Chains A and B, each alone.
Chain A
Amino acid sequence: MHIPDGYLSPQTYIPLAGVFVAVAAVAVKKVKKEVSAKSIPYLGMASAFSFLIMMFNLPIPGGTTGHAVGSAVIAIILGPWATVIAVSVALIIQALIFGDGGITAIGANCVNMAIFMPFAAYFTFKLINLKSQKPLRIFIASFISGYLSLVLASILTAIEFGIQPIIATSADGKALYCPYNLSIAIPAMAIEHLILFGIAEGLITALIVRYFFKHEPTMIYALNKGGKNE
């Protein structure tokens, strides 16, 4: 899901970089309010966790590869705003040091995986779990949160790829950037995330949230925010 350089036109990556900077600025303010000094180490660990999880390329046999991101579990445990910071750092390091994701596409990749995805995950979890404290309900809500948020993020990425032939073609009608349109990009990205990578994200999310619910339930942001602990 890491868009490389050359696949997005400037008309796409410049606005997305703007969105990223604006949302990151809000995240800084929110994290200042929400995150206490003692939870700072967890933000660092979350960023490292997300970095590592994205190294586990999963194969569609004979086809493409993909991976989980970790944004869903981080959003449920540390909150979506802290996730914006932690996962953006991981994505920027990946682009700068390891060439995974383009320099021009840093904004787009952060919008997809570090902004859209954690909020999609957080709201999905809240919507399904409501205020339940039942382990099974929390497990299921966490799984769906991870699964759905990764699939939706892959579709958002596919839209960014797929609008390129519409907005940027040369005089002879050839694509200038990503050559595949929406009707190819969306099914290609959605299906591989529906059948494999989303399940990985769902399982990681459900298992880690279950662990925290058993041992550190007060730490789970999505269960305590707005509840009796605030």
Chain B
Amino acid sequence: MNKLHKKILVLLIILVLLTPAGILFPMVFNAGDAWGEWSAETVKNLIGYVPEGLQKYSDTYTAPIPDYSLNADDPSVTHQSLFYILSGILGIAATFGITIIISKFINKNGK
């Protein structure tokens, strides 16, 4: 690991510890979903009905850790922040690991 690798790693660790800002700021400023990312229920509140295809496809897949959070029954800020950080760590490990594996595979016969 060279000096620059270490610096980037430190930046990534700082970022992951700061990620709860990504749920706290929207709470403080009373901001909701991203545009076009509403649940079927929210769409019904917005336009009065749930489009047929949207209803059909919206349950195509259930992610293991939906919305970077586990156990949404406990909505306390501490709980959410903790799971957000854990999701960030898992995300770093997965993205870093998989990108390296793909790149090494691509590079196998490269320079």
Contacts and interface: CB of A to CB of B under 8 A. Distances in A.
Interface of A: 1-7, 9, 28, 31-33, 35-37, 40-53, 55-67, 85-86, 89-90, 93-100, 102-104, 157-158, 161, 168, 170, 174-180, 185, 188-189, 192, 215-216
Contacts of B23: 57
A85 B99 contact: yes
A98 B87 contact: yes
Given A41-B100, A99-B63, 11 more contacts: A50-B95, A59-B29, A62-B31, A66-B34, A85-B106, A97-B64, A102-B61, A170-B52, A176-B54, A179-B43, A188-B35
Contact of A86 (B25, B65, B99): B99
Interface residues of B, number: 68
21 contacts: A36-B111, A43-B99, A43-B100, A45-B8, A47-B96, A47-B99, A49-B12, A52-B16, A59-B29, A59-B31, A61-B30, A64-B33, A89-B95, A89-B102, A94-B91, A97-B91, A98-B65, A99-B63, A102-B60, A177-B51, A189-B36
B58 A4 contact: yes
A9 B56 CA distance: 11
Nearest to A28: B106
Interface of B: 4-5, 8-9, 11-12, 15-16, 18-19, 21-23, 25-26, 28-37, 40, 43, 47, 49, 51-68, 84, 87-88, 90-92, 94-100, 102-104, 106-107, 109-111
Contacts, number: 225
Contacts of B90: 97
Nearest to B58: A6
A179 B5 contact: no
Contact of B53 (A9, A33, A63, A86): A9
B51 A175 contact: yes
Contacts of A31: 103, 106-107
